[in-house]
Chain A
Amino acid sequence: MNDKLQQLSAAVTEGLMTRREFVARAAALGVTAAVANSMLASTAKADGHAKPVAGGTFRMGVSGGESTNTQDPAGWASDVPLATGFFWGEPLVELGEDGVLRGLVAESWEGSADASKWTFTIRQGCTFSNGAQVTAEDVMKTMERHSNEDSKSGALGIMKGIVGMSVEGNNFTCELETGNADLPFLMADYHLIIQPGGGFDDPTAAIGTGAYVMEDFEPGVRATATRRADYWGGSQEEVAHYDKVELIVLNDATARTAALQSGQVDAINRVEPKIAKLLDRSPNLSVKNVSGRGHYVFIAHVDTAPLDNNDLRLALKYAINRQELVDKILQGYGGIGNDMPINAAYPLFDETIPQREFSPEKAAEHYKKSGHDGSPIVLRVADGAFPGAVDAAALFQQSAQAAGIPLEIKREPNDGYWSEVWNVQPFCASYWGGRPVQDQMYATAYLSTADWNDTRWKREDFDAMLLEARAELDEGKRKEIYSQMGRMLNEEGGVILPMFNDFVDAISNDVQGFVGNPSGPQMYWKTFKYTWKTA
């Protein structure tokens, strides 16, 4: 099978087969889309004829920027700030397209036997753009700024488990309340860009260890940066090949595609699934999609009537036609979900968990068993909940109707949706961007004490399993525990998860070396660093 696969992926690299055909053929060989994609990535990279060229300007048209954006990493929440942030700054580590951590500011890291103490060794020769060598002190200060009691950082939630930090020579050590085998993954968070003195003096200075130095930053409009000569990662022939990178904020989908088609930009994010196939046909550009960990959900509070009744939740889970949603809302750019927030893009995913199928009969059966009085179940939804949310809710309503379950759709305004509806109302549409590892996803939204427990899933046995898996260094055992947790949510959880969305980007054919990263769009915003342009 392996030979066959390699043959196939070579065919793609040589342009004899499209990426989608490859994934389909690979699936026939019993390989999941995620594995197939990363397989393809490694072949493309190893391909000899692609030799990087230094120089030129890389221009991106990106959605998800506002004139309210700041250069302080603590306040980043949308795509543009973090895309520009990676120009000038780097966290300790980054998550590669193969799901493996790579060191950036940290050269290496090591955990204690019970995973409760982690030590990161700071890379020698890694300098800030102001010329100073990064010290372990800078790293500790940065972590403090995101976790101390005055912290206004969006990373505060993930820093909670850290109880002590210390510096010894070149090493930064953090101690945890309970063991966490995945701690290094948390350090890849985009808020945790290492700043001189932790950024306490001037959080918006945009001084970091990145390959580029900010030249211009107009919030919600554009950002430009130029290559540093003294970047620790190497010369322009080796990495960060462009002389200059430029980002233009293009929130309007048509404006983005037009800018790419007219050659004003070299790459765009968020191609609308509706037009992706059409766009792919235009000359001089290609649509690139990568299966990710992000998912679109309908979330029910498990402690609020009527959905505190598990039979009613099961009825709804059986009543949603997942394949139809993937076909019509994502136009095939995504995969079906299984009422748990984990898919094959996560490490330690158990492929043997049975997939829940659409079954009006089973739905009707559970609905009858629930004894629901027949009053309509109110589902709140807004266009901003996820792209196509209102249409998805309408499809859900129809398929539920077929099982005799009355759903009432209440449309809410986009404005204020995240503060007034999500995590407040008992049943609504939402999305999750996914997290690099299972532990973080569960800890963010399914732990009893999690601030973002948007399904009000509070189960001591589940929490205990999460903590057990966290400190378990034996991967086999961890996988087993995660599998049980997934099954538990699948059977009893408040999350109705019909689909995982792909990240759909488009790039000009001049751009070489593009490899999708399941963590986010545009190689998780590293396109500027790992691609180059043919002259």
Chain B
Amino acid sequence: MHPIIILVVQRLALGILLLFAASILIFAGTTMLPGDVAQQILGQGATPENLANLRAELGLNDPPVSRYFNWLGGVLQGDLGTALTNGRDIADSIGGRLKNTMFLAFWAALISVPLAIFLGLLAVRYKDRIPDKLISAVTLTTISIPEFMIGYILVYWLAIKLRWFPSVAIMNDSMSLFEKLNAIAIPVMVLTLVVLAHMMRMTRAAILNVMQSAYIETAELKGLRMLTVIRKHAFPNAVAPIVNVVMINMAYLVVGVVVVEVVFAYPGMGQYLVDHVSKRDVPVVQACGLIFAAVYIGLNLIADVVSILTNPRLRHPK
């Protein structure tokens, strides 16, 4: 069998083990937080009687270990269960939220990844000259400003002053693709500005590293144009580190954008998770945790496979 297939299978098996471990950690963590879901639901309206009734109905009187295994049993049969707080089917609710999160992450990645790599290449081409410094200065500035601040600034100009795009990213199924894209225009811009610098700087550094090599000098001496040298000779050898940092940023776009979701009231996974953590709704927190962990594991796996495929020495091990 091809070594890469073996690697993928091994990694997937390990991934399942990791998911299992993550679910135990999340369960223990959420259970350890002060207060339980019944107290959080009733808040100031709690009395000893309605607390006891609610706890009994939600099965909170069972020992934690048996609650965990009940949950695990359900998940292994593909049943994520229902939310304790509002009795909704978790798979249904998460489905819609996950779709929104992926939609936003997809468009943000589609714009930011090529742009970051292109700007990285441009920075190398004009190393230490004005374009390079300008690109670095601008992207490092935008990564240094907190994302909610960038959000507010863009909302002020693009939504309130110019009224080009909406300030709140409302999504629903009846909207056309164009309406949806219009709704997420500002959030996509914010996310792009936030992730650009990291990928751009890594592209620049990785390629510059390769540019020191003797074969690049040879290529230059053959009389190739600078951009051709970078594109044909330097870039393929710099792909592995770039892919790694791209994957980290894509993972961030999926699991780490809760602040942006709040600022634009975007119905994604982040806000959904935070709401349920604060209400101690363990089954939902577990389900979200599993999805987030799976995203990380999956993207890391892709990064590793791509690194191997682009490197002949790893592709054909002796």
CB interface residues, A 68-102, toward B, < 8 Å: 68-72, 75, 77
Q: Would you call A150 and B53 a contact (CB within 8 A)?
A: yes
- Among listed B81-89, B124-132, B197-205, B236-244, interface-contacting one: B81-89
Asked if A225 is at the interface (CB within 8 A of a chain B CB), the reply is: no
* Contacting residues, chain A, for B53 (C-beta < 8 A): 149-152
Q: Would you call A248 and B168 a contact (CB within 8 A)?
A: yes
Give, as a whole number of angstroms, the nearest-CB distance from B170 to chain A. 6
Asked if B62 is at the interface (CB within 8 A of a chain A CB), the reply is: no
Docked pose: A415 CA to B47 CA in angstroms: 20
Main secondary structure of the interface of B (DSSP, over half): helix
* Contacting residues, chain B, for A156 (C-beta < 8 A): 45, 47, 49-50
Q: Would you call A250 and B279 a contact (CB within 8 A)?
A: no
Q: What range describes how many residues of B lie at the interface?
A: 35 or more
Asked if A264 is at the interface (CB within 8 A of a chain B CB), the reply is: yes
Docked pose: A216 CA to B171 CA in angstroms: 12
Q: Would you call B34 and A420 a contact (CB within 8 A)?
A: yes
Asked if B271 is at the interface (CB within 8 A of a chain A CB), the reply is: yes
| 11 A–B contacts, CB within 8 A, in A order | A68-B281, A75-B41, A75-B86, A151-B53, A152-B53, A156-B47, A204-B86, A218-B96, A220-B271, A418-B39, A451-B48
CB interface residues, A 248-276, toward B, < 8 Å: 248-252, 254-255, 258-259, 261-265
- Among listed B1-9, B152-160, B217-225, B291-299, interface-contacting one: B152-160
Asked if B95 is at the interface (CB within 8 A of a chain A CB), the reply is: no
Which of B47, B170, B172, B272 lies in contact with A451, CB distance below 8 A?
Answer: B47
* Chain A residue nearest in CB terms to B38: A152
Docked pose: A69 CA to B278 CA in angstroms: 12
How many residues in A have their beta carbons less than 8 Å from beta carbons of B? 48
Asked if B136 is at the interface (CB within 8 A of a chain A CB), the reply is: no
Give, as a whole number of angstroms, the nearest-CB distance from A67 to chain B. 4
- Known A152-B54, A220-B275, A221-B267; further 12 A-B contacts with Cβ < 8 A: A68-B83, A70-B86, A149-B49, A152-B57, A154-B50, A216-B172, A219-B86, A222-B172, A222-B267, A249-B265, A415-B34, A415-B278
Asked if A486 is at the interface (CB within 8 A of a chain B CB), the reply is: no
Given the interface pairs A77-B42, A220-B272, the reply to whether A258 lies near B155 with Cβ below 8 Å is yes
Asked if A157 is at the interface (CB within 8 A of a chain B CB), the reply is: yes
Q: Would you call A418 and B44 a contact (CB within 8 A)?
A: yes
Docked pose: A265 CA to B83 CA in angstroms: 30
Docked pose: A422 CA to B272 CA in angstroms: 26
Docked pose: A233 CA to B172 CA in angstroms: 32
Main secondary structure of the interface of A (DSSP, over half): loop
Given the interface pairs A68-B86, A258-B155, the reply to whether A252 lies near B262 with Cβ below 8 Å is yes
Docked pose: A415 CA to B275 CA in angstroms: 11
Q: Would you call B152 and A254 a contact (CB within 8 A)?
A: yes
Q: Would you call B86 and A415 a contact (CB within 8 A)?
A: no
Asked if A153 is at the interface (CB within 8 A of a chain B CB), the reply is: yes
CB interface residues, B 35-88, toward A, < 8 Å: 35, 39-50, 53-54, 57, 83, 85-88
Asked if B102 is at the interface (CB within 8 A of a chain A CB), the reply is: no
Docked pose: A52 CA to B238 CA in angstroms: 68
Give, as a whole number of angstroms, the nearest-CB distance from A312 to chain B. 27
Asked if B22 is at the interface (CB within 8 A of a chain A CB), the reply is: no
Asked if A2 is at the interface (CB within 8 A of a chain B CB), the reply is: no
* Contacting residues, chain A, for B159 (C-beta < 8 A): 258, 262
Give, as a whole number of angstroms, the nearest-CB distance from A316 to chain B. 24
Asked if B235 is at the interface (CB within 8 A of a chain A CB), the reply is: no
Given the interface pairs A258-B155, A258-B156, the reply to whether A264 lies near B167 with Cβ below 8 Å is yes
* Contacting residues, chain B, for A252 (C-beta < 8 A): 262-263, 265
Q: Would you call A248 and B170 a contact (CB within 8 A)?
A: yes
Digit string of A39-82 for contact with B (CB within 8 Å is 1, else 0)?
Answer: 00000000000000000000001000011111110010100000
* Chain A residue nearest in CB terms to B54: A152
Asked if A452 is at the interface (CB within 8 A of a chain B CB), the reply is: yes
